[in-house]
Amino acid sequence: MNPPVLSIRNLSVSNRRTKQPSAVVQQISFNLNPGEVLAVVGESGCGKTKTAEAIMGLLPRDGWSVQADAIELDGSDLAKLPESGLRRVRGRKISMIFQEPLTALDPVFTAGNQLASIFRRHRGKTRSEAYQCSMEMLSKVGFADTRNVLKSYPHQLSGGMRQRVMIAMAMACRPRVLIADEPTTALDVTTQAQVLDQLTRLGQEYGTSILLITHDPGVVAQYCDRALVMLEGRIVEDANVRDLFARPQHDYTRRLLASVAGVGSG
């Protein structure tokens, strides 16, 4: 069996902004395997997003404490890299899609400018090459009129369009790992399905392993191979999706599945 592409060992995250530092994530460990779509599922506040931000090295060091025995990406320990080293890895080997793309995208630059900058910075493309690559990438995430999207500012695009631009940016360098943090929360059901279909299809095409953070067991059932169930900063269950729905082991998992109509009834 191939080694995991991402391996987390005893990761803890604490908020130091409170009078008494509080643990948000408590010594969690898991592996993400090559080509896998792994869900991190749980209710709001359980530590899902902070886990993702800690892996990416995005938590402000003056307000948060991150401790881990290892955060290994293809055998390289991200926990030991300085910020300059993390900047070289982020976007190229590991990428992240956020819940609200309007705040993640820079409002003063066009979608094309932001996408092309990734090809130029991480893949050494010329301006004209980056423009061509950007059009091809936008086409891959479902845009027909790529030229119009390239010259549009984020506020001129719908929520679903902005999220597809974020997918294009995140997948531009064909990263080894993509972390998607509730990528369809603000979208209607039809657009949600389109975005997740495009995301998982590109992951298969590029050989990218996906860590999909969600509160929706229905998304887990349809798109994921395996799931980690989080409760109060801890992983309480780790199972392949078929076993999770057929034979949930933890009381919280059973309650979580039962709260969704038609899910977990088997």
In a domain, 1, yes or no: no
Name which residue leads in pLDDT, 125 or 101.
125
- Judge whether 264 lies within some domain: no
- Does any domain span residue 254? yes
Q: Within 13 Å, how many C-alpha atoms sit on residue 30's CB side?
A: 24
**Is the residue at 65 inside a domain?**
yes
Is residue 91 over pLDDT 90?
A: no
Structural domains of the chain, count: 1
pTM: 0.93
Mean pLDDT for 73-77 is 93
Percent of the chain, pLDDT > 70? 97
Query: Hunting for tokens 């984020």 — which residue is that?
Result: 154
According to the model, what pLDDT value does residue 259 have?
75
Residue 15 resides in a domain: yes
* Residue 176 pLDDT exceeds 50: yes
Residue 39 lies in a domain: yes
Q: What is the reported pLDDT for 266?
A: 38
Whether 239 is covered by a domain: the verdict is yes
Residue 258 confidence (pLDDT) above 80: yes
Residue 172: domain span: 6-258
Q: What's the CATH code of the domain at 196?
A: 3.40.50.300
Q: Does 110 map to a domain? A: yes
